[in-house]
Amino acid sequence: MRVLVQAAVAAALAVVGVYAADEKSNVESLTTASFGKWVAAEPLALVEFFAPWCGHCQALAPHYEEAATELLSSGVKLAKVDCTQEESLCTEQEISGFPTLKVFRHGKATPYAGTRKKEGIVSYMLKQQLPAVSKVTPDTLEDLKTKDRFVLVGYIDPSDKASAEALHKYAEEHRDAYVVGVSHDKDLAAKSGATFPSLVAYRTFDEPEVVHKDKGAALTVDEIDAFVAIESLPLIDEVSAENFAKYAMSGLPLAYYFVEPESPTRAEEVKKLAQVAKDVRGKLNMVWIDALKFGSHGKALNLKGDQWPAFVVQDMENGAKYPLELGKDIVGSVKSFVHQFVNGKLKPSVKSAPIPEKQGPVIEVVADEFDKYVFDDNRDVLLELYAPWCGHCKNLAPTYAKLAEAYAASPDTSKHVSIVKMDGTANDVPPHADITLSGFPTLLLKPAGKGERTFVQYGGDRSLESLIEFVSTKGSHKLAPKAGATESATAHDEL
């Protein structure tokens, strides 16, 4: 115990150095006494609520300090509150985890939704400082373009109320993500090759200006959304936890190039792959990813996980995976592969565990036999998706076995109801099953019926009685085990 205490004290002392008072710091340290007056006086500020022992807080500290310094010229201030010292203030602010960041406008707080890197903090706070839609003139355009890597300007005729309304609606919904402006200057539009109504993306990557000319009478929100979803992402960029959400939200398939960062050929290969990405722009997104740091993600995408570089496409809508066996000509093989993918000529890779030699009352399903057992038209099928390491799954196992035994006890119920399970870590759910697996265990009922492919998700308690009620009420056959079957299964289990 003493060793643990000494280690904890040593760690705490080391951390204090990270947050120790520094005369050169541009992050204001707030206390219960100074907090209210300080946040009330600031038109826009960011406050971090932290604990010195928190590892995530330690990782954030240098980024937070650098962001505070960079934002000084913009008049945006950053502050911090040590919740181990200011407990009452943090309780009042409803702080339940560390670090928690909040944006304050004259004392009114809203959650911070940006990243925890310096660039992300700066970008997010500059967007907060701007109106949802900034008015753009020849004198202000260049300054607006410096506010972010991607800046969207709508060039709209003053009389075009529909386009203006669509742009404002889009900007309000995405003000945390994008800098948006509007201009009614026809000559300024012409300098970017735009006419009324048009959208122009000003970027610090790829082509610096991209124009979208409206094909109809006015811009629409969907039209703006589609343009931004494609043009706000580089042709190929490194993907990480900081920017993955943008790719996921785009709705497009994501092609990963797994490569070791220090590979002497990485930069050149990525440059060449950018041209491949340009050919399929708008049909899929392409990224490169640190194979050493995210090798486990590669395995989850059905790559071997120990041979780099590697390439795989993932359909972000249904989770389907398309790994490529790279040849010596990396760019050539990737180009051919992605074109086959966008033309619908590839079949997804579906990971499957070996087919069991024997089955018990609970049928063990693998991906290769998913349709055989789960999409059985004649049966109500209760499917459990589980993980061997999942504690909740282990707790459910005895009850699930009793349920299967009870339904297997009579010819009538065994003929019309199947109780099955599948290891969600050793098997892929086939894309055509249209199942979103968000955790373990997941319980789904596929009712009997010709061509029936819909699932009813179970959300009740995991008692035997509740599971029987679910199957017997939601299933097409409305069958419960025969009287005495559950008692027999329980007694057998106890023996």
Read off the CATH number of the domain in which 170 is found: 3.40.30.10
Checking if the pLDDT of 14 tops 90, the result is no
Task: Tell me if 457 is assigned to some domain.
Answer: yes
Which two three-digit tokens encode residue 340? 């086959």
Task: Tell me if 357 is assigned to some domain.
Answer: no
Our answer to whether residue 57 is catalytic in this structure is yes
Which two three-digit tokens encode residue 292? 């050493």
What average pLDDT does range 264-292 have in this prediction?
Answer: 96
Task: Tell me if 463 is assigned to some domain.
Answer: yes
Q: Are residue 293 and residue 404 in the same domain, yes or no?
A: no
End-of-domain residue from the set 307, 342, 377: 342
Pick the range with the lowest mean pLDDT from 132-136, 311-315, 465-469, 487-491: 487-491
Of 57, 151, 362, 381, which residue is the catalytic one? Answer: 57
Checking if the pLDDT of 494 tops 70, the result is no
Residue 59 has a pLDDT of 94
End-of-domain residue from the set 280, 308, 342: 342
Task: Tell me if 469 is assigned to some domain.
Answer: yes
Checking if the pLDDT of 77 tops 60, the result is yes
> Residue 257: exposed, middle, or buried by beta-carbon count in 10 A (0-12, 13-18, 19+)?
buried
Our answer to whether residue 393 is catalytic in this structure is yes
Q: How far is CA 305 from CA 311, 346, 380, in A?
A: 11, 21, 38
At 217-269, the pLDDT tens digits run 899 999 999 999 999 999 999 998 878 988 988 889 999 999 999 999 999 99
Of 393, 403, 417, 471, which residue is the catalytic one? Answer: 393
Residue 234 has a pLDDT of 96
Q: Are residue 489 and residue 367 in the same domain, yes or no?
A: yes
Q: Are residue 122 and residue 138 in the same domain, yes or no?
A: no
Q: Are residue 10 and residue 95 in the same domain, yes or no?
A: yes
Q: How far apart are CA 101 and CA 426, in angstroms?
A: 38
Q: Are residue 136 and residue 120 in the same domain, yes or no?
A: no
Q: Residue 318's pLDDT band (boundaries 50, 70, 90)? A: confident
**Is-cis flag, bond preceding 430, omega within 30?**
no
Contact residues for 474 (Cβ-Cβ < 8 A; gap 6+):
380, 445, 447, 456
Task: Tell me if 315 is assigned to some domain.
Answer: yes
DSSP 385-410: EE-TT-HHHHHHHHHHHHHHHHHHTS
383 or 432: which carries more pLDDT confidence? 383
Residue 215 has a pLDDT of 78
Checking if the pLDDT of 317 tops 90, the result is no
Our answer to whether residue 90 is catalytic in this structure is no
* Number of structural domains in the chain: 4
Return the percentage of the chain with pLDDT > 90, whole number: 82
Can you say how many angstroms the Cα of residue 135 is from the centroid of all Cα atoms in its chain? Answer: 32
Domain limits for position 256? 236-342
Q: Are residue 139 and residue 186 in the same domain, yes or no?
A: yes
pTM: 0.70
Task: Tell me if 212 is assigned to some domain.
Answer: yes
Residue 19 has a pLDDT of 43
Q: How far apart are CA 241 and CA 285, in angstroms?
A: 16
Residue 437 has a pLDDT of 83
Q: Are residue 242 and residue 214 in the same domain, yes or no?
A: no
Q: Residue 17's pLDDT band (boundaries 50, 70, 90)? A: very low
Of 226, 300, 390, 397, which residue is the catalytic one? Answer: 390
Q: Are residue 224 and residue 245 in the same domain, yes or no?
A: no
Q: What is the mean pLDDT of the chain?
A: 91
End-of-domain residue from the set 105, 126, 147: 126
Our answer to whether residue 54 is catalytic in this structure is yes
Query: What are the helix (H) ranges across 409-478?
Result: 411-416, 464-474
Q: Are residue 374 and residue 459 in the same domain, yes or no?
A: yes
> Residue 362: exposed, middle, or buried by beta-carbon count in 10 A (0-12, 13-18, 19+)?
buried
Task: Tell me if 352 is assigned to some domain.
Answer: no
Q: Are residue 163 and residue 270 in the same domain, yes or no?
A: no
